[in-house]
Amino acid sequence: MANAANPLLPTDGKITISDGAALTLVLLYEDGDTTIGGLNSSQKTRQAFKSRGKTYAVRDVEDKEIPINWTAHAVHIIGDGTTGTVGDAILKKLVWSAATSTLATANGDSYLLTVTWTGERTNFGAAADNTIVLKYCDLEMDFSEGVPGKLSIKGIAHPISTDYLTIT
């Protein structure tokens, strides 16, 4: 795969939120401040073992949750009932009131969503775009007024199964 030498820029991507069925909401970058944290090769926490202060082993221990954060301009908190908004998706309101969780009922009853971050690369010579798909996200939203008003979205991707994280 050919790599492009151009950096990822906020204007060159999108965030997609989807439920466990057919609802999808595409958000274009606004401030370009998305963070997805704690990625490592095994997606496990690591424990170092020491003998008299000297490390002799490091083991992968527990599944590792992945935090995600971004902000959006607050042009709404919830929508008008015809067009879905990020507030509708997170709060399960209006157009998203019948949304289904990405979490199977057997694994719990929490309302979790899939968040996909896409960084545009093909327009700059790469063979494919970069994507990070987080399948079992528990999302929250904070509102702050100002110029402009902001919605701060934060969440945790839970490692329910091996398909909770896909990076391409």
How far, in Å, CA of 56 to CA of 22, rounded? 50
How many domains, in total, are found in the chain?
Answer: 1
Q: Which stretches of the chain are DSSP H helices?
A: 86-91
With CA atoms as reference, report the closest residue to 155 among 77, 63, 90: 90
What are the φ/ψ torsions at residue 67 (nearest 5 degrees)? -80, 145
CA-CA distances (angstroms) from residue 103 to 81, 106, 118, 137? 25, 8, 22, 9
CA distance 156 to 154: 7
Look at residue 95 in the predicted model and tell me its pLDDT: 93
Is 4 part of any domain? no
Q: In the prediction, which pLDDT does 4 show?
A: 67
Tell which residue, 105, 93, 154, 163, has the closest CA to residue 134. 163
- Reading the block at residue 7, the tokens are 């950096």
pLDDT at 24 > cutoff 90: yes
In a domain, 80, yes or no: yes
Residue 136 lies in a domain: yes
Q: What is the pLDDT of residues 86-109, one digit of tens each?
A: 999 999 999 999 999 999 888 889
pLDDT at 124: 79
Domain interval for residue 55: 10-37+44-167
Is the pLDDT at 31 greater than 70? The verdict is: yes
Torsion 126-162-85-152 (CA) sign? negative
Q: Decide if 2 is inside a domain.
A: no
Asked if residue 5 is part of any domain, the answer here is no
